Structure 1
Amino acid sequence: MARRLEEAGAEDAAFSTAQVTELIREVAGKRVVLRGKIGGQPAVFRLYLDRVEDCTRDWNELCRIWPKMREGDLRVCAPLGFAPEAGVMAVAEVEGTPLLQWLYGAPETERARYLEPAARWLRAYTECTETEAAAQPAGWAKRAERAAKTQAFIRLKRVEKPILKEILRLVPLLDDSQWRFAVSHGDFHPNNLIVNGNMVTGIDCGGSRPAPIYKDMARFLMHMGRRAMIPSGEVYLGVDRQGFIAFCDAFRLSAEEREITLPFFIAVEALLRAETRNLPQSRVRRARQMSEALLGDLERIGR
């Protein structure tokens, strides 16, 4: 890591002042995330290990969205330094608490506070690149089918099999639809939003290609749902009902988008993130409960 940061200093003078104080996260063989300072300013460093070109992709995406979301209550973190050959970038550290972490510590009566701001944040991120194109439900159904085959737990496979059947049933209902596409966040889950009072700041913005706008909504809702985190206490499709409504309202989804398209993507997302053997049994139990609730509502859609 020291060698990579030294190489970065040769590319971008900003890194010559870099000081690293803490290892935040290491994804073996892929990337390292560090905390420190650059030019005396608190910073987060990302070192790309296996796909150095991803550093350029993520940096370009951050620089694209930064001018549009640098002020107000809905923001992204500020870019500070970029060394593509070394595979290193630095961004300003954001004050606050990752949203999922905040949810676990908040009183139950206050947990729904950030559902609507989270939906508005995603809308602010996507609206400047939104386009329309023909729907591609069969392709997403195939992705879900492939992912379902990697599910490690028999008790989850038993409920995911009928979920896949419902996904396939919805495909013909969407074949002739128009979907909205936009450059997306790419990994929009609650811990990639940092909350601090009324301020909501997005981090790890890596999306660089247009994707259906419904995918990031489903990712956010399902990330909480499979952990049995239902901030409002109301469940629909295995996820938070008020969160579902917040995204529908923020994006002004049509009746078809609300009633079929977004539920379709929530079901797809449920299968895309297959649970692995190293998960604790409590997580598996929560995932099963989520899947059963999802299936119950899916069976009524479009009939």
Structure 2
Amino acid sequence: MSAENIPLPLVLEASEELTDLQNRRKAVAAFTAESVLAAHERSAVYAGLYDGQPAILKLFRGPNFKKKARRQKQEMERLATFMSTGRYRTPELLDAWVNLGITVTTRIEGKTLAQALIRASLGERDHLIAEAGHWLSRLAGPTLFRDTFAGKFWLSRKRNDLPRIQYPPDMVLARALLARLEALIPDVRGHSVTKAEIHGDFSPPNLILTETALYGVDIQSVAPQPLVRDIARFLLYLHIVIPQRDSGLKFGVSERDIDVMLGTVALPENERQTLLPFFIGLEMVDKLARLRPDHVRAAALRGAINRYLETV
């Protein structure tokens, strides 16, 4: 097994861990690993074959590994009731061994939405973003509800990210962002917010296009979250990684991308004008804390933040 961009010791550790589990549980040996897709302290992800079928095996680690595997199993079973057919889908759960922290799902062969967007024309880009919006609407639809928004909670979470920022100019930007978000609290606190059981990781790399469907992958446990949060994350990813060159900016990201996405997701007008900029700002703080200062995307992120601070 091999994997790009994963330190070799982690790849070897993940390979040995899976082999040990397969020796202990014969049924797990039906999975033949071909590569390690991810490996860290919380989980390891393998691509391979399960009973001859292309599959993804996820091995949860840590003190709550059984609980995490159980929650993913339950979520995949729930999604199968309404996202196993049609245009907008999620992978099928093939098997699970909760006591071992293992789930196995079908491996979707296709092109990620991120890959498709790179070479897309303007019209194709609009279509692909709209498709992503339809997928999110399908996912969220059965569990949509209204709640009262408490902005301070989200702001306090992002303040906890500050110690991770070591580059002084980025710390200046982060503090300016947090100050701007603090100033927005009176405009968002107590507002009605649309929530749903969603995963919080809605982004182009986690959507795969096939000839017949659009799949959302890397599905884990869910929690009731603001729908606008996933939209903000998706839009910021687009602007930083696959920017729209022929569009004006709004809230620091492409205004055209915003319009296309919100043309497919039923988000009330008050959330579009108040909560969307608030969550885009939160996502900017999050990305600033996660990206290395010399990362290829860091300059684009700083540019988006500066534009956000000028206009929001």
Letter of the 2:298 counterpart:
V
1:20 aligns with 2:33: yes
Matches within 5 A, 1:153-302: 153-197=167-211, 199-227=213-241, 229-230=243-244, 233-276=247-290, 278=292, 280-298=294-312
- Secondary structure in structure 2 of the residue aligned to 1:114: helix
Farther-moved stretch of structure 1 (137-146 vs 225-234): 225-234
Deviation at 1:173, TM superposition (A): 1.3
Percent of matched pairs sharing the same residue? 22
Farther-moved stretch of structure 1 (134-143 vs 279-288): 279-288
Gaps of 5+ in 1: 299-303
Deviation at 1:76, TM superposition (A): 0.4
* Shift in CA distance, 291/153, structure 1 to aligned 2, threshold 3 Å: same
> Distance in 2 between the 1:122 and 1:41 partners?
27
- Secondary structure in structure 2 of the residue aligned to 1:226: helix
C-alpha RMSD of the superposition: 2.2
Deviation at 1:234, TM superposition (A): 4.3
Deviation at 1:184, TM superposition (A): 0.6
Farther-moved stretch of structure 1 (76-85 vs 105-114): 105-114
> Distance in 1 between the 2:223 and 2:291 partners?
32
Farther-moved stretch of structure 1 (219-228 vs 113-122): 219-228
Farther-moved stretch of structure 1 (37-46 vs 146-155): 146-155
1:152–1:274 contact (8 Å) kept in structure 2: no
Deviation at 1:243, TM superposition (A): 2.8
Letter of the 2:32 counterpart:
Q
* Shift in CA distance, 62/168, structure 1 to aligned 2, threshold 3 Å: same
1:128 aligns with 2:149: no
In structure 2, the partner of 1:115 is 129
1:184–1:208 contact (8 Å) kept in structure 2: yes
In structure 2, the partner of 1:43 is 55
- Secondary structure in structure 1 of the residue aligned to 2:288: coil
Per-residue deviation, residues 25-55 of structure 1 (Å, max 9, x unmatched):
22x2222111111122111111112241211
* Shift in CA distance, 7/249, structure 1 to aligned 2, threshold 3 Å: farther
* Shift in CA distance, 252/279, structure 1 to aligned 2, threshold 3 Å: same
- Secondary structure in structure 1 of the residue aligned to 2:57: strand
* Shift in CA distance, 4/279, structure 1 to aligned 2, threshold 3 Å: farther
Deviation at 1:152, TM superposition (A): 2.6
1:56 aligns with 2:73: no
1:132–1:180 contact (8 Å) kept in structure 2: yes
> Distance in 1 between the 2:247 and 2:230 partners?
22
- Secondary structure in structure 1 of the residue aligned to 2:161: helix
- Secondary structure in structure 2 of the residue aligned to 1:25: strand
Farther-moved stretch of structure 1 (245-254 vs 226-235): 226-235
> Distance in 1 between the 2:290 and 2:188 partners?
31
In structure 2, the partner of 1:68 is 82
- Secondary structure in structure 1 of the residue aligned to 2:296: helix
**TM-score between the two structures when normalised by the length of structure 2:** 0.86
* Shift in CA distance, 109/122, structure 1 to aligned 2, threshold 3 Å: closer
- Secondary structure in structure 2 of the residue aligned to 1:69: coil
Letter of the 1:42 counterpart:
P
1:32 aligns with 2:49: no
- Secondary structure in structure 2 of the residue aligned to 1:282: coil
Per-residue deviation, residues 249-292 of structure 1 (Å, max 9, x unmatched):
32322221111111111111111233457453432211111111
**TM-score between the two structures when normalised by the length of structure 1:** 0.88
2:94–2:105 contact (8 Å) kept in structure 1: yes
- Secondary structure in structure 2 of the residue aligned to 1:225: helix
- Secondary structure in structure 2 of the residue aligned to 1:94: coil
2:162–2:289 contact (8 Å) kept in structure 1: no
Deviation at 1:126, TM superposition (A): 0.7
Deviation at 1:84, TM superposition (A): 0.6
Farther-moved stretch of structure 1 (244-253 vs 281-290): 244-253
Gaps of 5+ in 2: 1-17
In structure 1, the partner of 2:20 is 3
- Secondary structure in structure 2 of the residue aligned to 1:85: helix
In structure 2, the partner of 1:301 is none
2:126–2:260 contact (8 Å) kept in structure 1: no
